[in-house]
Chains A and B, each alone.
Chain A
Amino acid sequence: MRWLFSFLALALFCVVNARSFTGSRLLVVLEEESEREKYGVFLGDLESRGFTITTLTPKSESLSLFKHGARAYDHLLLLPTKSKGLGPALTANLLLDFMKKEGNVLLALSAETGTPTAVQSLLLEVDIHIPSDRNALVVDHFNYDSTSAAEKHDVLLLPFPKPARSDVKDYFGGEGVIAVPRAVGQTLGNESPLLAPILKAPSTAYSYNPKDEADIVEEPFAVGQQLNLVSAMQSLNSARLTVLGSAEALQNAWFAEKATLAGKAVKTANRDFAAKLSSWAFKETGVLKVGKLTHYLNEGSSKKLNSSSALPENNPKIYRIKNDVAFQIEVSEYTSTHLTPFELPPNDILQLEFSMLSPFHRLNLSPISQTANSTIFGASFRTPDQHGIFNFAVKYNRPFLTGIEEKRQVTVRHFAHDEWPRSWQISAAWVWIAGIWVTVAGWVVFVGVWLYSAPVGAAVKGGKKTQ
């Protein structure tokens, strides 16, 4: 009986423990408390994943993102509200400050209520653009749900997104179709490397304002795959801003709804997509953690590696030029409940830079071994023929993964006077060594013969006479 109890306790602990890597306090801002029911399944899923949810309205007195200058919540879910403004507690600046303190924001927009000005300016700040018309929405005359939107074609049915490139990890893949009703399309600025599309509109979609009476849409906001239905911005401090064009997609009504796509009956898989999207947005997936960075002299008897996980890094402070050095870095990826060994996406590499101002070496790190929850990547190389202050630097910034930026500083000294190879070890010098010793030997012989051939006194006098 007792083991059963402890087993249950362990299971419960595991369920509760399943939570975000950065914290579990989630603030949900919505129009009024009664709206909570509409998102009940989604919020219930979040709660079961370990989030502590606080639901507040923009008008609420106690609404504040910060407490005593620190973040009061770890994550923010902003559902659409009817009012134009969000009040003094949710200005664009405060939302940005929240992100500067590594808070994650999931923004859900809606074409029906329009986008509050605070959110508009926040999106402008991060170079995500939404239509200026309040009610503009995305329609598609090919991929619409003919059950619920036979006339308006504004409920899009889309497959799960695939990674845009082969070297990006897939966090949003799945089976089935996602219903995206009445979405606000976004376009992403070209300049920012921090932006990434999650769900693009199909090539037949376009954005238009249903209030517009004209028969033909002239100069639409954006068309085709320029339009993003879900997009993401991950800042350099790894805070995540996720913009979901359609808040309705998170509602209970669309979580497992029967729909018809091109005459075929399908069932929407919004619940799965919402879970994947929110777990990425709230840092349950795609979080990298760097363990120990070690580097050591990889030469002869002085080769020693601190492989103990208990000991601190304890790396050498100084190397000599032309030393053989090995480097290792331990990287884990957090996947919703625990740290797992990080596996690079195919076609991607983790690189080490050995740099003084500019990199002298840029080397590919290859996975050497795996522990229970980390992969150890390593590379060995020879320090360049240049003394100075160098850095072992690993930088790895990829879409949908939190960035790695690690640096370890070392001194690289020049040869000490007794570390140069002796002359006889260099075969090219043998001739000149021989030159010296032949000269010395010749000199010894000369001295001997000189002393032996000393002229007798008479000879010297004779020599004098001749002159």
Chain B
Amino acid sequence: MLHTLKLLLPALLPSWNFFDVIAPSPRIQFSLLSKKDETPEEWQEFRPRPAKLTFIQMLKRLLWNPKWNESLFMVSCAERIIAQPAQRIQQHSEDEILKRIIRILPESNLNLATANYLQFRLVLVQRQGEQLQHEIVFYSRIQALIRDDKP
């Protein structure tokens, strides 16, 4: 309860420091594995952004934007993991990302027939001079996929 009240305080006494510093930005990539001890080779970006959006699509998203808001929440979870908070919060963020990846798998066009396990990693993107630098900063646990279509 005390922890939840601590979470409430920034809402009642906000800092309003939006975009004060443009920090390195995490990307969530995942890999499907058939065996638990398999080394992941192919990494997929979670819900990549579209190449282009029309103005009409942007207007529609003003009222209905659940996927994008979920993606932003997952970025927050990734930032929490990278910030290395208490183990309980880190575990919560890892669980949130894993279960949301698992939920979108059926609607992806990935071959799920041999997929039994899932792992995600966090890639931190930042600018170094004129170049963008990509650095892998975190590997999740390997999560068994329990799906309705599997025995």
Q: Do A and B come from one complex?
A: no
Residues of chain B whose beta carbon lies under 8 Å from any beta carbon of chain A: none
